[in-house]
Amino acid sequence: MDTTKPLPSYLVQRYHGWKATSYAENQAWYRRLASDGQHPRAMVISCCDSRVHVTSIFGADQGEFFIHRNIANLVPPYQPDGEQHGTSAAVEYAVQVLKVAHLIVLGHSSCGGVQGCIDMCQGKAPGLDAKDSFVGRWMDILRPKYDIVADIEDPQEQVRQLEKHAVMTSLENLMTFPWIEQKVKAGELTLHGLWTDIGEGGLEYYSADKEMFLPV
């Protein structure tokens, strides 16, 4: 692999700073994590967006969350077709091997993936419609929900509502996995839908009783 290069100097400096401070002060904790293995209580499925900092939102330490990130925090339907499925593999490992107690889907404001889905549905993103667009084909998971928000005139409100539908789509698709459905019905696993406002620091959860997102 002659295309790989050493780390940029700023990352090297940050690593050495972390090793000399956070790691040095918590060395016993890190060694225990290494020797005892991971035992997270929850899996969080969030967006790749660099502004979404899952551990900071909940003040979590290393070892607390099993985290999977992808475009627009989407989970595809259960599809055991023998092909490669990164998100489904992560979910399977969390539920079947780590036996997490909670599955959390975390959406967010100003999601570029969701905006891309809207643009694609409105005919404004021919690149995403192309057969060879990985992002476009991934956003096809959310595409059916566009009809629900198509008549919303305010563009910001439209994308905000579709961001929340992305969370709901993932929760619905999680229940198509037979071993998730079984554990949920047995009370061994709970599903949670969240949406965070990056600029305001707000957090909303989906209330099954109210059938809407409410402030935490």
79 and 172 share a domain? yes
Give me the CATH number covering residue 71.
3.40.1050.10
pLDDT tens per residue, range 158-189? 999 999 999 999 999 999 999 999 999 999 99
Q: Which residues have CB under 8 Å from 169's CB, separation 6+?
A: 74, 75, 141, 142, 145
Higher pLDDT, 1 or 55: 55
pLDDT tens per residue, range 71-91? 999 999 999 999 999 999 999
pLDDT tens per residue, range 5-53? 999 999 999 999 999 999 999 999 999 999 999 999 999 999 999 999 9
For residue 133, what pLDDT band results from cuts at 50, 70 and 90? very high
76 and 177 share a domain? yes
120 and 183 share a domain? yes
pLDDT at 170: 98
Residue keyed to tokens 């607390």: 64
Please choose, from the candidates 182, 161, 174, the residue with its C-alpha nearest in 3D space to the C-alpha of residue 44. 174
20 and 118 share a domain? no
Number of domains in the chain: 2
60 and 19 share a domain? no
Domain range holding 166? Answer: 38-215
Alpha helix ranges (H) inside the chain: 9-18, 24-25, 27-36, 54-58, 86-92, 112-121, 126-129, 134-139, 146-149, 155-174, 178-185
pLDDT tens per residue, range 135-158? 999 999 999 999 999 999 999 999
pLDDT of residue 1 exceeding 90, the answer is: no
